[in-house]
Amino acid sequence: MNILVTGASKGIGKAIAEELQTLGNLYVTGRNENALIACNAKGFCVCDLSKDVNNLAKFIEEKEIDVLVNNAGEYLYKDVEAITVEEIQKIYQTNLISPTYLISKAVKYMKEKGWGRIINIGSISGVMGEANACLYSASKAGLLGLTKALALELAQYNITVNTINPGWVETDLGNASIEESEFSKEEILECIPQRRFVKPEEVAKLCKYLISDDAKAITGQGINICAGLSVGI
């Protein structure tokens, strides 16, 4: 099993990389080379998904990746009338366009092998929508459409495609998102039924399960892991 986790240098991606390390040959990618070295993976590729992903695409083909975890993402909290073309391009490139392209490069080997796992890390914001984060919500919603279509296209090759939609997660990105928003952490917690943030390790364990044979019948799904946030308050 040859596994690639994008955005593995911190947060959810780091937790996923640590959880999957014993499953096979683990490869990681991200923007911080020192952080990638610290992952103790079999190999790594330094890459910024908002810019040039061609080197990473070649890396995927060379390493014959059959488990692809599209975790890397960008977040922007901003009124819609204030967003720029550059911001639109960056968010969509990182959150939707690059993951789609990386999948296209991994699928050839998966088909030849007759087995593969594609897991996209979306967001509860792509399920419910988030005011003042339209680019983030829309790009993550796009992953859900991509997941459903590819699940149908690839089912005959024993390749599953799913999206995990975390709610508020206890990470640097999650805390930074709070700082950018108009709400305090206490106010946000009041809107979460379980009154807590999800731990990165919880997302990682769900990811591990979706790779296992026990989950081979699960494909084309968007799975919410949000401490009840998607249900209501």
Q: Which of 73-77, 151-155, 169-173 has the highest mean pLDDT?
A: 151-155
pLDDT of residue 101: 98
Ramachandran angles phi, psi of 23, nearest 5°: -80, -25
Task: Tell me the CATH class for 2-225.
Answer: alpha beta
What is the rounded radius of gyration, in angstroms, for the C-alpha atoms of the chain? 17
The Cα 228–Cα 221 span in angstroms is: 17
pLDDT in tens, 93-147: 999 999 999 999 999 999 999 999 999 999 999 999 999 999 999 999 999 999 9
pLDDT of residue 174: 66
Single out the catalytic residue among 77, 109, 136, 209: 136
136 given a catalytic annotation: yes
- Give the distance, in angstroms, between the CA of residue 147 and the centroid of all CA atoms in the same chain: 12
